[in-house]
Structure 1
Amino acid sequence: MRFRSPQSEPPEINLIPFIDVLLVILIFLMLSTTYSKFTELQITLPAANADKLKDRPQEVIVGIAADGRFVINKQAVEGRSVDILVSALRQASGGNAETSVIISADAATPHQAVINVMDAARRVGLIRVTFAAQTDAQ
């Protein structure tokens, strides 16, 4: 007696759970890659295409080295605190509130050093602050 094997139905693939899982993975990847963009930025500053600066009689040029040392009008400033910068900027500006402060910082200068100069200029009352950048060689 020969028994026939029962006819098996072809397997059915349900796509709805598969799509749900892929949607969750897609959302997770979109959210996680959005935040990783900011840590992967390679920034080299400063460089700009600009006209040559015109000489202005009422200006104080503050140079900031890559290690955070300061130079105000080609005079080295001993120390790195904001209070020392305030006294040096007050002396260099002569108490004139119309004096422009030009910050010439190295590309690798810590951000805090630039903020210290801006804070010192604000304390002295110098509101005209600008940044110097080198022009791109073309």
Structure 2
Amino acid sequence: MKFRRQRLDEVSVNLTPLIDVVFLLLIFFMVSTTFTRETRLGVVLPEASGLPQAEMTDQVEVVISAAGEYRINGEQLVRADADTLRSALLALSREGTDRPLMITADADSSHQSVVRVMDVAGQLGFVNITITTQEPAAD
């Protein structure tokens, strides 16, 4: 008897569907991942290179703390909002808005606090506004 030999099918693995699935997973993870990276702007405060100005007795000094609290001529304001700041500066502006207004802010105070003082002072008519600087560190 003559038996026919069975043909052995060639065993192979088709990699095309596997590669398709891997690429689909890669695309899914790329799309679903959030790439938001919060950045912060580093602000370097200006340093003075000139001589300090002579002390003026007839000036308005506004000091801004790191927490955003205001002191006007050494007196702390009750609240740190624009209305309280406006009423305190309004009382001082009756003596004249030609007086120098000096703004001294802590390095950690917000930019909004400084701009608020400048805005309120400008609305009240102060034109001689000075922002204090720090002396450069000795290297």
Q: TM > 0.5 between the two?
A: yes
- In structure 2, the gaps of 5 or more residues are 1-38
Classify the secondary structure of the residue corresponding to 1:95: coil
Partners of 2:121 and 2:133 in 1: how far apart? 19
TM-score (norm 1): 0.65
Alignment match, 2:7: none
Q: What do the CA deviations read for 1:28-79 (whole angstroms, capped 9, x no partner)?
A: xxxxxxxxxxx56532324322211212233101000111000000000111
In structure 2, the CA distance between the partners of 1:48 and 1:90, relative to structure 1 (3 Å rule), is: same
Q: State the Cα RMSD in Å.
A: 2.0
Alignment match, 2:123: 123
Q: Does 1:62 align with 2:58?
A: no
Classify the secondary structure of the residue corresponding to 1:103: strand
- Contact between 2:93 and 2:124, CA under 8 Å: does it hold in 1? no
Alignment match, 2:43: 43
Classify the secondary structure of the residue corresponding to 1:97: coil
Classify the secondary structure of the residue corresponding to 1:83: helix
Alignment match, 2:78: 78
- Contact between 1:60 and 1:93, CA under 8 Å: does it hold in 2? no
Give % identity: 33
Classify the secondary structure of the residue corresponding to 1:71: strand
Q: CA deviation at 1:137?
A: 3.5
Aligned residues: 101
TM-score (norm 2): 0.64
What letter matches 2:130 in structure 1?
Answer: T
Partners of 2:71 and 2:94 in 1: how far apart? 17
1:1-138 correspondence to structure 2 within 5 Å? 39=39, 41-138=41-138
Q: What do the CA deviations read for 1:88-132 (whole angstroms, capped 9, x no partner)?
A: 112234430211110000111101101110111012211111100
